[in-house]
Structures are given as C-alpha cells and as structure tokens.
C-alpha cells in the first residue's frame, strides 16, 4: 500500500500563537503594516486560514488537550483550498471526494469565511441533506456552527466592525457579503450565489431537484462528500477529471479533487490497520471501505449472513470452550396469511437451542403452542411479532395471565419490526465519532435487528476461524448440534438481503421473488435482539 512522505505533525502550536500575538501587536501599532497584511491575504486564502483561523476538535477533551487550536493546514488541505480558489477564479464547478475525517468541510468553511471577508458583495451558499447538518445552534458538527466559531475567534484586526450572525445566515455589513444555508430539496432555491458548497452531496435524497435548482443559481458549485454507489455524485465524479495544483481548469467538465486518508500527516498505516480491524470486528467493514477507502462498490447489496459464518456458528460454544449457560430468551414470528407459517426460536445465553414452525392460522392456538414450547425453560421472555395478526397473541396471553394459566416467570414482550431503532443517537460502531448514528443508518428496528444478528455471526466466525477474542454476551451466537431443523436454519438465515430506503437508510429484503418468508430466521433474529420494552437489554444481560 502506498505510503506518502509525511509532514512533521502536529505543528508547534505554541510558536504559532506567539507569532500571532507579535504580528497583531505590530498591526495595531503600524497602519501601513496592517494595510499591507490585508492586501497580502486578499489573494492568499490558504495563508490567511493557517495564520488566523481556528478550528475545534471536541475529541481532544478526552485526552486533556485543548479543543480549540489554530487551523494550520497540512499540505493536501492547502492544495484543497487552492482548488476552491481556482474554481472561483475560473468560474468552474468542482467536486471533492474525501475520506472521512480529513478536514474537508472545515477547510471549505474557512475558505467561505475568507470570501466573506475579502470579496465585496459576495454571496456564498451552503447546503446539505438535513437542516440540522446545515445549522444547529451549539452543535459543532453543523456547518454554520463551524462558521460562527471561525468568525467569532478572528482577531479584531480582521473581523468586520458590523456583521450579523443568525440562523443559517451570516451578513458582513462592512462589504455587503453574505453566507446563507439551505437543506434538502430547498438547496439552490435561495437566489444567486458566487459559489455554492453542497456538503455530503452523495447522500442528498432528491439530487435531481438540487441539480435543476443549482444550475440556475451559481456558476461555481463544489460538491463535497464521502462516496456512495449509484449516485449523481458518483456519476459526476466519473465524468469529471482529476485536478492537481498548477493545472488549468476546464469549463466543460467537473474538476475533481481527491483527499485520501494517506494525505493526513497524523494517519499512518498502523492507524489504518487498527481502524479497519475495529470496523471489521463490528461487522461494518463495508462502511470502512466507503468512508475511509473511498470504495464506491462497498455498499452491501447481497446476503446479510454468509453461509460460512453459519457453519462456524454450529456448536461454536464447544469449539470456543464457552459454558452452555445463560438466560432463556425466545422469539415468536406470527404467520400473517397466505403460505406463511408461525415459528418459534429459543436460546440459552448465546446458544440457539430449539426452533419449530407450524401452519396454524388461529393466533390463540399459536400463543398457546408457544407457551407449551417455553414452559420447560423458565424464566423466559418471549419476543413476539406484535403488528397485524400478532395482536391476537397479546390478547390470548393476557387472558392466560388473567386466569393464572400463564407459567410464572414467562413474559410475552411485543416486538415491532417497523418501529424506530433502539439507541437512536448512539453510533453504529461504539465510541467512534466517525461512525454514523443508528437512526441515520438503519431504516427500522428490523434492519437493526438483522444487522445485529449479522454482527454476531461474523464475530463468532472470526473467533472460530481466526482466534480473535469476542464479548461472549454481546457477540456470540452458537447453534446447538441438537437443535432441530439445522438445514432449514441455514437456508433461511442466508436468504435476507439488504437494500436502502429513499433516505439511504438500511432496510432488509426477506422474500426475493419465488421465496417464502424466512419465519424461523425472523424468530431467531427477534430472540437475539430484544425490544426496548424488555427487561433483557441489548447487550444480552438482564436488567434488575
């Protein structure tokens, strides 16, 4: 793998701050020097950014380091700012294909402020797929909070005397310049712009509407995004040409600037290997491939669970020397008509012990049969498909409970596949701020549950085949050799595939043409992913 020559990093911030203080003192006492400095920076955006603009990294707080620091650009960031400048001077459109966490959005925000300060009457536009990504007061992840932080930290020698800071709007009354924001389908509707930045352009929900609006809005459009397969962003990138410093720009095609993880002087091969391993351990290697490797083909569109993973999971607890112990949990998938069948799956700790299916259409009988299957393994929680005909299971189990016919220690818990995801604001990869949050990644609870099951199978496979250590409660899935219907379990677990909603959130397709619903697999999935109404939490331990 290519390693590029690296700059010495991090910079010596203390020396830089000392230079700032000395230079500002000189500017304060020498009007000619102050005017000369302003003229110097009027054509040198990268120098102005490195000399006078601050950035914020909240992650530094965990190490006790300052979260605010001078935004000293590394080499590829300086070239990126030059790219923005050349797009502006040439009135050409550009596209930045980025690895995550390379500072592309911060660099574009800093360049926008430079335009706002030095271009008389300039109007800069910013857009992204959601309003809270464009502006959310106090949220440094939003574009306009970055802009506000940059402006408010400017030395008085460069900050306008008269300016307004409002929601999705910054006005420089000294020179008439502005920066305004828009989101979603409204991108490009707010009037003419000197330059327009579209952040996370590959993830725009209705790109055709944005295309139409921006074509009449600006001569200089710059898309910035990590990659996504099958998007307008990808089409524009592939139709464009790669630009490098010193190269002239063409008006007939989009200039493409690539900023890779290797361009960041703090990111070494060791960093890459460790990050990749973490994502792989969490069953999210395709996200790493998209966000870090810039791999357009990495989005998962095939089977969620691989056949070799299931083979490794058969009797995995014995292979790994894990005790056959833990709490009993069950999943009940209720038939909803046609050729559909009811199914129940039971596990003890991480070990799948029992499955069964039957064709009864009466939900009362279905509930009673599930009770019979579970009465010998108490205490137990039974997660049942509660939507539609599943409501009949609730009615019957309530009746049994009222008449003291439901075994003590058996609890039926509703599980709604279409409901909102659990832990919506948590990261898909725990404790990783570069990972997407659950509510933006999963389309519903079913997708989250299936992805959790995938992660268990992949982790167990790696533990068996590679010897990695796993969290037994959270990551293990073992299929007992004595479990009925092993071949059917394997067939059904490999059937579901992934797809994406219109909002680019993960969904599950269970029934390709000609296939019947994988009821046993659904019951297994529910048994391994409790709902938020359970006393059994998502990590696999009981809540007292």
CA separation (Å) from 234 to 76, 105, 237, 256? 22, 19, 5, 11
Supply φ then ψ for residue 7, to 5 degrees.
-80, 160
What CATH number belongs to 300-528?
3.30.420.240
Q: Are 168 and 144 in contact, with CB atoms under 8 Å apart?
A: yes
Q: Would you state the structure tokens that stand for residue 328, as one six-digit string?
A: 């009993």
For 238, residues 6+ apart whose C-beta sits below 8 A from its C-beta are none
Q: Are 490 and 467 in contact, with CB atoms under 8 Å apart?
A: no
| Cis amide linkage into residue 457, ω under 30° from 0 | no
- Give dist(CA 263, CA 8) in Å, integer: 13
DSSP assignment of 401-446: HHTT-SPTTEEEEEE-TTSPPSSTTSBSSTT-TTSPBHHHHBSSHH
pTM: 0.68
Q: Tell me what pLDDT residue 512 has.
A: 62
Three-state SS at 535: coil
Q: Would you state the structure tokens that stand for residue 125, as one six-digit string?
A: 């536009």
Closest CA to 333 of 283, 382, 262, 263: 382
Query: Within 10 Å of residue 432's Cβ, how many Cβ atoms?
Result: 14
Bridging pattern class, strands 169-172 and 177-183: antiparallel
Mind listing the pLDDT tens digit for each residue in 351-406?
999 999 998 888 999 999 999 999 999 999 999 989 888 889 999 999 999 999 99
CA 534 to chain centroid: 27
The H-or-E segment that residue 255 falls in is: strand 255-259
Q: Which residues pair with 209 in a beta bridge?
A: none
Helix pair 519-528, 445-466: axis angle to 10 deg: 80
Q: Tell me what pLDDT residue 124 has.
A: 97
Length of the chain: 544
The H-or-E segment that residue 343 falls in is: strand 342-348
Supply φ then ψ for residue 167, to 5 degrees.
-65, 120
- Cα of first residue to Cα of last residue in the chain, in angstroms, is 50
Q: Are 283 and 477 in contact, with CB atoms under 8 Å apart?
A: no
Domain boundaries for CATH 3.40.50.300 within the chain: 74-263
Domain boundaries for CATH 3.30.420.240 within the chain: 300-528
Q: Tell me what pLDDT residue 237 has.
A: 86
Low-confidence ranges of the chain (pLDDT < 50): 1-5, 300, 514, 537-544
What CATH number belongs to 74-263?
3.40.50.300
């Amino acid at each position: 793998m290519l390693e590029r020559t690296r700059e010495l990093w991090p910079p010596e911030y203390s020396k830089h701050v000392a230079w700032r203080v000395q230079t500002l003192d000189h500017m304060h006492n020498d009007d000619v020097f102050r005017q000369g400095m302003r003229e110097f920076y009027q054509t040198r955006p990268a120098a102005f950014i490195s000399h006078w603009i601050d950035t914020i990294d909240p992650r530094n707080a965990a190490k006790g380091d300052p979260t605010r620091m001078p935004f000293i650009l590394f080499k590829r960031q300086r070239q990126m700012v030059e790219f923005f400048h050349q797009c502006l001077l040439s009135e050409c459109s550009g596209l930045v294909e980025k690895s995550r966490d390379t500072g592309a959005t911060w660099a574009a925000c800093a360049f926008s402020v430079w335009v706002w300060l030095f271009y008389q009457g300039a109007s800069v536009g910013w857009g992204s797929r959601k309003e809270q990504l464009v502006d959310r007061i106090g949220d440094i992840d939003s574009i306009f909070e970055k802009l506000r932080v940059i402006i408010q930290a400017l030395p008085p020698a460069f900050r306008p005397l008269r300016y307004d800071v409002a929601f999705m709007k910054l006005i420089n009354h000294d020179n008439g310049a502005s920066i305004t924001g828009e989101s979603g389908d409204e991108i490009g509707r707010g009037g003419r712009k000197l330059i327009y930045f579209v952040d996370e352009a590959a993830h725009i929900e209705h790109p055709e509407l944005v295309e139409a609006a921006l074509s009449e809005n600006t001569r200089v459009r710059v898309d910035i995004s990590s990659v996504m397969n099958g998007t307008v962003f990808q089409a524009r990138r592939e139709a464009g040409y790669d630009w490098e410093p010193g190269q002239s720009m063409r008006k007939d095609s989009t200039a493409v600037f690539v900023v890779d993880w290797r361009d960041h002087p703090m990111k070494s091969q060791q960093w890459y290997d460790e990050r990749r391993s973490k994502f792989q351990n969490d069953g999210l290697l395709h996200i790493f491939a998209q966000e870090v490797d810039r791999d357009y083909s990495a989005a998962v569109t095939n089977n969620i669970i691989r056949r070799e993973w299931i083979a490794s999971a058969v009797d995995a607890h014995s292979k790994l020397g894990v005790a056959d112990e833990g709490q009993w949990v069950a999943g009940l998938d209720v038939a909803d008509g046609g050729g559909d069948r009811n199914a129940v799956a039971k596990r003890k700790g991480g070990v799948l012990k029992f499955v069964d299916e039957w064709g009864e259409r009466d939900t009362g009988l279905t509930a009673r049969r599930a009770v019979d299957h579970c009465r010998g393994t108490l205490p137990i929680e039974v997660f049942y498909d509660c939507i539609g005909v599943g409501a009949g299971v609730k009615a019957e189990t309530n009746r049994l409970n009222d008449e003291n016919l439901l075994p003590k220690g058996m609890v039926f818990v509703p599980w709604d596949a279409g409901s909102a995801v659990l832990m919506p604001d948590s990261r898909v990869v725990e404790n990783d701020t570069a990972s997407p949050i659950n509510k933006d990644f999963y389309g519903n609870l079913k997708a989250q549950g299936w992805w959790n099951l995938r992660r268990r199978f992949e982790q167990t496979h790696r533990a068996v085949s590679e010897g990695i250590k796993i969290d037994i409660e959270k990551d293990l899935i073992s299929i007992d050799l004595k479990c009925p219907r092993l071949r059917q379990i394997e067939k059904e677990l490999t059937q579901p595939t992934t797809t994406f909603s219109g909002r680019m959130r993960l969904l599950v397709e269970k029934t390709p043409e000609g296939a019947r619903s994988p009821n046993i697999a659904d019951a297994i999935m529910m048994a391994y992913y409790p709902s938020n109404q359970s006393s059994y939490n998502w990590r696999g331990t009981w809540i007292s």
